Amino acid sequence: MTSNQNLQSERRLTPAERDFLEQRGCTADDWDLVTIHDDTDLKRLRDVDFAGRVSIGRLKAPAAISRARIEDCEISDDVTIRNIGRRLFGCQIGRGVRIENVGAIEYDADATCGAGVEVSPLDETGSRPVIIFPGISAQLAALQARKPEWALEKKDLFLHAAASRKLTGIGDEAVIADCGTLRNVYVGPRIRVEGADWLKNGAIINNAEPGKEFAAVGHGVHAENFIIEDGRVDGASFVHNCYIGQGAEIDKGFTAHDSLFFANCTCENGESCALLAGPYSVSVHKSTLLIATETSFANAGSATNQSNHMYKMGPIHWGLMERGVKTASGSYVMWGARIGAFSMLMGAHKGHPDTSDFPFSYLFADEKGTTTIVPGLMLKSCGLRRDQQKWRKRDRRQGRGLPIHDRITYGVFNPFTIGTLLKALRFIPKLIRDMVPDEQGIIRWRNMKLSGAGLARAKQLYEAAVRHYIYTLYGDSPVPESQGEPEDWVDLAGQTIPRHTLEEVMAASDVETMESILTEADKNREEAERRWIADALGSDLRYLTKDLRHHSEWLQRMADEDKSAYERILAAEAARLSL
């Protein structure tokens, strides 16, 4: 923290200077271990108890140190320290730092400040640990959790990444005020920690340009074993074994245990446990519990609840909510289950449903907890288009000069979701033909319910969505013929990639290479999508390359009609409620 020039300018106190400081209420276990800068104004020191080796950089007005016990600390230039309840111990304090009204700030010699902490998402019992470190992306975190055997094999690489960036001390121009105890907590440059209750074994990291900082910790926060990187925690929130990533906000008493929050997540009032919250996961209501699941682009309604414990083998169950899932107020899911992308979940689902083959669906639960799928209905919703537009606008990482960690595929339609639709278009006719409905016209499939009419409508909507996607890629140009078998695509915590990219990442020999492979895939994604759709259609689905503009406009017209209908409802409500 202290510059070499300052170190060269530091010296021991003269006997007269020691006497002067003692007259100002200062003491030292050994004055020979206290050094000051030549330009230090000793009148800026009052009521300070020194212990061990302490060095003080240049100290001029308005900077000052008073009413503090300082042990084994290295203090740089222009620092203000006032009203320390117990002590500053083992601290490296950068230039222009202000520390006021703090109980204690302490560092052990072997402190890692949160780097290398093992977080246990998904399986609460810890069988899928994620090693957190500065710069970790949502993609590598999800890969560790979803591929635990691979993560164990690569564990040394992640531990090396955690150890490679030294985190200790307090960065230049940081502010720590009105706090309780900070123990082994790295506070980065220009970070503000104000009113925090108790922070232990963590790091608060700022990568933004001066004046564009987002990272902060606020009033009443209690945190242990954590990394907050370009994120924010405030409002008496409780954080234990967590990573809070770029643009993420934890506020208003939210409780998070063994959870990971990546780009632009917002969580308030409720709680999470063993949550892997991919980009744009939102939960802002009280009585909401997100537990043992992975999400992205998700929105949890009030009193959303989930269960991972069936009282046989402990809380070992977990589930997936694929990108874009919304939960209605009072919804419930018993894990393990998998909820298809961009679906709306309503009611209490107790049959461990797997609706991933039917994305863009409404999912209802009957009185026994059996899931009824109304497939494709979300494709008519104006909210789908609104979601895609709002995400980019709400990216709190932009304009700050940050190195972006999480790569995000914003498009609702992409090879992951469209690939699922193509699969559905191949098996829906067989399902309609072979499954015998009951007297109510209900088809029972994989312990879930559908209707023949709903499947027929889904086929029409899915076809329109595929054509719309092709039109966005090719416009009125002809779609090339297939050149081979299409490759499967996966959604890795908000980034859609071909499976071979996933395999390349898993084969890499260091974390930097893993991240660079994912970054390169993100840069080349659009061209890869164009090649993929040409292969994915196959001869049986080539009819989907016809009338692209017509079906694209039809899909968008349905969304416009849905918006108009909704606006009419709102207008009628406003009229009923007016004075």
- Number of neighbours of residue 503 by Cβ within 10 angstroms: 10
Q: Give the confidence band of 510 by pLDDT, cuts at 50, 70, 90.
A: very high
Spatial distance between the Cα atoms of 293 and 336, rounded to a whole number of angstroms:
9
Collapsing DSSP to helix, strand or coil, 26 comes out as coil
* Distance between start and end Cα atoms, the chain: 64
What's the predicted TM-score (pTM) here? 0.95
Q: Measuring CA to CA, which residue among 280, 530, 539 is closest to residue 415?
A: 530
Whether residue 386 has pLDDT greater than 90: no
Return the minimum-mean-pLDDT range out of 7-21, 152-166, 210-224, 263-277. Answer: 7-21
The pLDDT value given to residue 547: 92
Whether residue 499 has pLDDT greater than 80: yes
Whether residue 154 has pLDDT greater than 50: yes
Return the minimum-mean-pLDDT range out of 7-16, 213-222, 225-234. Answer: 7-16
CB within 8 Å of 392: residues ≥ 6 apart: 410
Whether residue 381 has pLDDT greater than 80: yes
> 60-72 in b/e burial notation, b at 16+ Cβ within 10 A?
eeebbbbbbbbbb
The pLDDT value given to residue 8: 54
Q: Strand 255-261 relative to strand 238-244: parallel, antiparallel, unpaired?
A: parallel
DSSP assignment of 31-69 equals GGGEEEETT--GGGEEEEEEEEEEEE----TT--EEEEE
CB within 8 Å of 412: residues ≥ 6 apart: 324, 342, 384, 387, 388
Instruction: Report yes or no: 339 and 345 within 8 Å, Cβ to Cβ.
Output: yes
Q: Measuring CA to CA, which residue among 233, 251, 208 is closest to residue 398?
A: 208
Average pLDDT, the chain: 95
Q: What is the mean pLDDT of residues 411-431?
A: 96
Whether residue 5 has pLDDT greater than 50: no
Q: What is the mean pLDDT of residues 31-59?
A: 97
Question: DSSP secondary-structure letter at 408?
Answer: -
Instruction: Report yes or no: 143 and 492 within 8 Å, Cβ to Cβ.
Output: yes
Whether residue 163 has pLDDT greater than 80: yes
Three-state SS letters, 191-248: CEEECCCEEEEEEEECCCCCCCCCCEECCCCEEEEEEEECCEECCCCEEEEEEECCCC
Q: Give the confidence band of 541 by pLDDT, cuts at 50, 70, 90.
A: very high
Instruction: Report yes or no: 516 and 509 within 8 Å, Cβ to Cβ.
Output: no
Whether residue 7 has pLDDT greater than 80: no
Element containing residue 577 per DSSP (H, E): helix 548-577
Spatial distance between the Cα atoms of 52 and 180, rounded to a whole number of angstroms:
23
Residue whose tokens read 């997936």: 320
Q: Give the confidence band of 440 by pLDDT, cuts at 50, 70, 90.
A: confident
The pLDDT value given to residue 4: 43
Instruction: Report yes or no: 344 and 378 within 8 Å, Cβ to Cβ.
Output: yes
Residue whose tokens read 């709400």: 394
Q: Measuring CA to CA, which residue among 535, 502, 541, 337 is closest to residue 421?
A: 541
Whether residue 357 has pLDDT greater than 80: yes
CB within 8 Å of 198: residues ≥ 6 apart: 180, 181, 222, 223, 224
Return the minimum-mean-pLDDT range out of 118-127, 175-184, 226-235. Answer: 118-127
DSSP assignment of 94-140 equals -TT-EEEEEEEEE--TT--TTTTPEE--SSTTSSS-EE--TT--HHH
Whether residue 187 has pLDDT greater than 80: yes
Element containing residue 453 per DSSP (H, E): helix 452-474
Question: DSSP secondary-structure letter at 377?
Answer: G
Instruction: Report yes or no: 255 and 470 within 8 Å, Cβ to Cβ.
Output: no
pLDDT tens track for 287-329: 999 999 999 999 999 999 999 877 666 678 999 999 999 999 9
- Note if the bond before 336 is cis, omega within 30 degrees: yes
The residues facing 332 across adjacent strands are 305, 348
- The CB-side HSE value for 560 (13 A sphere, CA atoms) comes to 6
DSSP assignment of 148-199 equals HHHHHHTHHHHHHHHHSS---SB-TT-EEEEEEEEEEEEE-TT-EEES--EE
